[in-house]
Copies of this chain bind each other. A is one copy, B any other.
Amino acid sequence: MKKGHQITMKEIAKKLGVSVSTISRALKDSPELHPETKRKIVEAAKEMNYQPNLLAQSLRISRSKTLGVIVPEITSHFFASCISGIQDTANKRGYNVMICQSNESIEQEKANIRTLVSSQVDGLLISLSRETNKFDHLYDLYDREINFVLFDRVQEDIPVSKVTFNDAGGAYQVTKHLLENGSRRIVYVSGPEDLYISKKRKEGYLRALGEFGVHQDNSLIKITDLTEAGNIKVARDILTMRPRPDAVFCMIDPVAVDVLTEWKAQEIRVPEDIALAGFTNNPTAAVVEPPLTTVAQPGYEMGKLAVSHLLDQLDGIASEDPISIVLETTLVPRKSSQHF
């Protein structure tokens, strides 16, 4: 071990084979843990010469009254709504907000964290980049006792509070709606398969099919890289399938809008020839022709809840134990899925 290296809770957790959250609770003498477990952890911490980060604690006394927010991209209407919710609520409680964009890059996400932490923000709200598949930078924040809350794009194992949507539930709702309108051969256009939302929305799609006794057919699951070119390729592929699918559920609205534009150019009628639905409820969904059936995700509400919880933690109102808040989504049925 390097000289001068400061032992972290993560290292104690690793040595004892328990979670960081358990270490944290033991050192706080939480009544939720068995006394024997606590004793073992405290002893190990002493042995390893663990010292809580006093600097972090003292910094927390003098507040900068500033919060940092990291989102994958600001151009997304959804994240922009989250930011509005965060900022309105933070301002009301006397805090200002600085925002950084990771551009879906883990390196940029790390740089953003360094920048915001050295700007002495009181806490952070983070939605992870698409690339983030290692989490040391988050565990590092945790060890330094810097308060942060994850939202929308979260990592499930880190013992901090999270705010997410019921993605599977939303996909279930929209697929059920397509089934109720008579469709049986329903394509799911998924983003890259390792994305959390790709998986969760597929889960809901399959659950609805199962409930209606529709046999799962993997050839009906199409993957796009979410670029315009990728979306158009999928739109064309679908038209060559035999028998032709009678409905398409796209993982996010921008995909559905690209599919619709391509089909209109080919004089395919929506919903008469094929029904179409998206997910997110971007402003564009309401104004395309025909208007797009979709699932509304209240981004503003998500931002509001995430920042309220973070501020409650900073103010010592919220429990220090992490919680998970799951927001429900709402089906928005429009003309693109309904044969009149």
Partner-B contacts on A (CB < 8 A): 64, 66, 68, 74-75, 77, 80-81, 83-84, 87-88, 91, 96-101, 103, 108, 111-112, 114-116, 118-120, 257, 261, 283-284, 287-289
Contacts and interface: CB of A to CB of B under 8 A. Distances in A.
Given A84-B101, A99-B101, A284-B284, 17 more contacts: A74-B84, A74-B99, A75-B84, A87-B101, A87-B103, A88-B103, A91-B103, A96-B100, A96-B115, A97-B100, A98-B98, A98-B115, A98-B119, A99-B100, A257-B287, A283-B284, A288-B289
B99 A66 contact: no
Nearest to A258: B287
Contact of A83 (B74, B88, B108, B116): B74
A97 B101 contact: yes
A98 B96 contact: no
A83 B74 CA distance: 8
A87 B80 CA distance: 16
A112 B100 contact: no
A250 to B, nearest CB: 14
Contacts of A96: 100, 111-112, 114-115
Nearest to A287: B288
A304 to B, nearest CB: 15
Nearest to A107: B91
Nearest to A264: B289
Nearest to A96: B115
Query: Which 4 pairs between the two chains have the least Cβ-Cβ distance?
Result: A289-B289, A119-B119, A75-B80, A99-B99
Contacts of A111: 96
A110 to B, nearest CB: 11
A250 B84 CA distance: 26
A100 B111 CA distance: 18
Contacts of A100: 96-99
21 contacts: A64-B118, A74-B74, A74-B80, A74-B83, A74-B99, A75-B83, A80-B80, A88-B103, A91-B103, A91-B108, A96-B111, A96-B114, A96-B115, A98-B99, A99-B100, A119-B119, A119-B120, A257-B287, A261-B287, A287-B288, A289-B289
